[in-house]
A and B are shown apart, each in its own frame.
Chain A
Amino acid sequence: MLIDSLRKSRWRGIAAAALTVATVVASTVPAAASELRIGVSSHPNTLALNETGNDAAQFLYNIYDTLIEVDVYAATPKFKPGLALSWTQISPTVTELTLRPGVTMHDGRTMTAEDVVFSLNRVFESKDPRFATAKGRFFDNFAKAETAGDMTVRVITHRPEPLFNVLISSRNAGITSKAYVEEMGPDKAALQPVGTGPYKVVEVKDKRETVLERFDGYWGAKAPVDRIRYLRVGELAARVTALVNGELDFITNIPPDQAKLIPTDKFTLVGTTWPMFHVVVLNMSDPVLKDVRIRRAMNLAIDRTALTNALWGKEGIPATAHQFPNYGEPLYIPGLKTIKYDVAEAKRLVKESGYDGQPIRISFQPNYYLYFDLAAQAMADMWSAIGLNAKIEQVEKYDYKTVQMRPWSNPMYYPDPMGAFDTHWSKASWTTTRKMFQPQNPEWDKLYETARFETDPMKRRDAYKNLITIGEEEAGWILLYQPHEYFAMRKGVEWKIPVGLRPYALTFGDGQIKLGAK
């Protein structure tokens, strides 16, 4: 409103005059001949290969390569040679990979099998607890890597691995320089890492600012941008202003209601509904929540359509089943609806359980996920309506001995049912090891086994369908919605979302960005 009235008033004249001056003065963030200045909302602790967060996904794809690569724009996975030229399964649990010769790493050394084995074993063996999350999420079935010649490595899994290609192409299986890590020590190497990717890290300023530079020794087609400067601008309003003001070229994490602030005549908005659910994890060991009827009632009482429309507008998608179209058919089952909204049944279940009014708390950390505080308030009301004594509680930390519920997200880390499921609900996940998630159905383990390790896609599909149907009945999780977000960039920057990769990945390699004149 204020903007409009200012624009319509006599301020317009002043603004016009000011604009002339603005072009001279405003762009003081140093911009090289071809530099992309990105405003991000958060920055990972380090740029090392153990980072698995959304914030790290903005960096890692530009710094590191993997042995097998995936077509970043193919909605269903298309694999291609990366740092390995070819790979063959030589026994049910051993895959042999022939490495690409002459790959120069960012420290100037040439990549060898030693570097590959060192990089992979850091995560496969996970001797450093920092790698435990990456190991649990992707590589629980990976035993070790070993050299089999100067340019040949073998990757050994505990059991036959049907998801070998997709898992080995995840960025946590990226390759770094063994000699560099040993010289610098793991801490310094994590901050100023060496990879083999199209950009090398040249400047890191403590989670505030990181500069990548085109790596001229890159083995593939050279990157199109000289420098990428990432700035952490945590405040959304500040990020939007810095873009509109010409201080940044590209900004991330804009929710639909804020996208309106960006004038589309000078800026491009690229929106996406992420293959990711916002989730509430229920503690199945909790004295109140261990009653499956209470959990099921809570799951049935959520009006996901109302919640999604209110928070994410028409672009958000209410959850209907734990699956995403990105898997491609037959693994994706169109029209499947395992999640129901049934207030009458929810009330009946609460009554049947003999619930005695003990409080049920939704605990959440401030600013964990956008709008979760609002969602929590709405859910508390929905649960009160079925007779539960629901309370919301903002906490600094979760005490897993007493926590009843906490928010989480289930992003699709790779386009396969397991990409959003095994990565979150496997036996290696913290939800299980901390005894929050403990499915009781005797079929669970058998179905999980088939969905995870079976090679026949139809058998996997059926097992997975049964698994997620039982999952909803177990109600150890409550899936809410798929959020919608925008990226914004100045005109002249051409970029599209790499749908073949996990949510929030930013890629700026050859053919992935065009940086035109301002």
Chain B
Amino acid sequence: MLAYFAIRSGRLLLTAFLVLLFAFITLRLSGTPIDKMYPEGITAEAEAALLKEWGLDRPMPEQFVRYVGQILQGDFGVSLQSRRPVVDIYLEVLEPTLILGGVAFVLSILLAIPLGVFCALRYGGLADSSINAASFVVYAMPHFITAILLIYLFGYVFHLLPTVGAYGPLNYVLPVTVLTLGSLASLTRYMRGAMLEQLGAEYLRTARAKGLSEGHVVYRHAFRNALIPIVTLIGMDIIGIVTGSLLVEVVFAWPGVGRVFIGAVQNRDYAVFQCGILFYSFIVVIVNYLVDLTYMLLDPRIRVDA
């Protein structure tokens, strides 16, 4: 058991390290912040002086070793553009992102599980077919298309909801809807599938044969077992919301982590980008890690194998 934890934790750190290394190299290969900070051009002398000031004239391996040394001491550097500490920049925008993602996550689960069960119980009926078809459409639609469509309808045509920034509760409605819809579509379909699988299982016949009521059979037996595969998907759901929020934040001019991160990529603001990529990769690996652990707790067979 201890070895299982140790291996998993080791993998977690290794993954984050490799992601950082890859990101560090690729962004530098794509150019320097100079091209973005001075798009109108700059003399070679001024460029050289700035690169020297920022330490970007040093060989890349040296830059990387120095950076890793800094982050091990908790120093994530300063933004080349705004000269502010990177951590301050992210902390300032963490709250709107967490609320946006958190609300979308809770809503998608609260809606998807009952919807999936509902569809499974009415398998083949009109409600099931309609919800299933709608799920396919929403699932196939990229977040930014849904976002632009909603902005167009609720902002441009009907003037019903605000479309930029995070100034009040109403500003949350459209971005939360976009993120929720994306996860809801996939989770509902999986929940429906998992439930259908359980409803057709042999052990339910036994349960019914024992004289248990239909409600008892469905909710105490089928539903509980159908939830196990969903746990893994909830992990995917969190990752989907985190990555989806990158685009959604840009489209809605949302003052969040995603917009800062995308801005850092666009401007090649190295330190901001590197901190962001660490943040995102940690979320992904930690969520996977937690899913593995939860799965192990829920399914005794994995526990034994481990």
Contacts and interface: CB of A to CB of B under 8 A. Distances in A.
A21 B170 CA distance: 12
A290 interface: no
Interface string A211-222: 000000000000
Interface stretch (B39-47, B207-215, B232-240): B39-47
Contacts of B157: 3, 6, 11, 15
Nearest to B144: A235
A241 B42 contact: no
Contact of A396 (B30, B84, B158): B30
Interface in B73-93: 79, 81-84, 89, 92
Contact of A397 (B35, B53, B158, B171): B35
Given A191-B84, A233-B253, A397-B30, A208 B43 contact: no
Given A14-B158, A242-B155, A433-B43, A190 B83 contact: yes
Given A6-B157, A46-B82, A188-B83, A29 B42 contact: no
A206 B260 contact: yes
Contacts of A242: 155, 163-164, 253
A389 B156 CA distance: 45
B40 A408 contact: yes
Contacts of A434: 41, 43-44
Given A26-B161, A245-B159, A130 B50 contact: yes
Interface string B154-182: 01111111111101101100000000000
A133 B40 CA distance: 9
B288 to A, nearest CB: 31
Given A238-B164, A241-B152, A397 B31 contact: yes
A45 interface: yes
A253 B197 CA distance: 56
A29 B49 contact: no
B229 interface: no
Residue of B162, B167, B170 with most partner-chain A CB within 10 A = B162
B38 interface: yes
Interface in A178-220: 187-188, 190-191, 205-209
Contact of A22 (B32, B152, B158, B168): B158
Interface residues of B, number: 50
Contact of B160 (A21, A231, A232, A261): A21
Contacts of A358: none
B50 A241 contact: no
Contact of A45 (B82, B155, B164, B253): B82
B263 interface: yes
Contacts of A398: 35
B156 A245 contact: yes
Interface in B15-43: 30-32, 35, 37-43
Contact of B162 (A52, A247, A433): A247
Contacts of B50: 129-130
B251 interface: yes
Contacts of B155: 26, 241-242, 244-245, 247
Nearest to A242: B164
B255 interface: yes
A208 B255 CA distance: 7
Contact of A18 (B42, B53, B158, B250): B158
B148 interface: yes
A76 interface: no
A430 interface: yes
B259 interface: yes
Interface in A19-47: 19, 21-23, 25-30, 39, 45-46
A246 interface: yes
A131 to B, nearest CB: 9
A275 interface: no
A207 B167 contact: no
A206 B84 contact: yes
A22 B255 contact: no
A231 B165 CA distance: 9
A206 B42 CA distance: 23
B151 interface: yes
Contacts of B251: 235, 238
Contacts of A3: 156-157
B270 to A, nearest CB: 14
Residue of B43, B148, B168 with most partner-chain A CB within 10 A = B43
A245 B30 contact: no
A26 B45 contact: no
Interface string A416-440: 0000000000001111011000000
Residue of B40, B79, B84, B148 with most partner-chain A CB within 10 A = B40
A10 to B, nearest CB: 13
Nearest to B252: A238
Contact of B43 (A14, A136, A188, A232): A136
A167 B167 CA distance: 41
A234 interface: yes
A191 B83 contact: yes
A6 B154 CA distance: 13
Contacts of B32: 397
Given A191-B82, A244-B156, A365-B35, A238 B253 contact: yes
Nearest to A42: B39
A22 B89 contact: no
Nearest to B34: A397
Contacts of A53: 39-40
A429 B164 CA distance: 39
Contact of A29 (B40, B162, B250, B260): B162
Interface string A246-276: 1110000000000001000000000000000
A267 B64 CA distance: 52
A132 interface: yes
A191 B85 CA distance: 13
B44 to A, nearest CB: 6
Contacts of A234: 250, 253
A247 B250 CA distance: 17
Contacts of B39: 53, 365, 368
27 contacts: A11-B157, A25-B161, A28-B168, A28-B170, A29-B164, A129-B45, A129-B46, A191-B83, A206-B79, A206-B263, A207-B81, A208-B255, A231-B253, A237-B151, A238-B164, A238-B252, A241-B152, A241-B155, A242-B164, A247-B165, A261-B156, A365-B35, A368-B39, A396-B35, A397-B32, A408-B41, A431-B41
Interface of A: 3, 6, 11, 14-15, 18-19, 21-23, 25-30, 39, 45-46, 52-53, 129-130, 132-133, 136, 187-188, 190-191, 205-209, 231-235, 237-238, 240-242, 244-248, 261, 365, 368, 396-398, 400, 408-409, 428-431, 433-434
**A-B interface, 5 closest residue pairs, ranked by CB to CB distance from nearest:** A397-B31, A187-B83, A22-B159, A132-B46, A129-B49
Given A27-B162, A129-B50, A132-B42, 8 more contacts: A23-B159, A26-B161, A39-B164, A130-B50, A191-B84, A231-B253, A396-B30, A397-B31
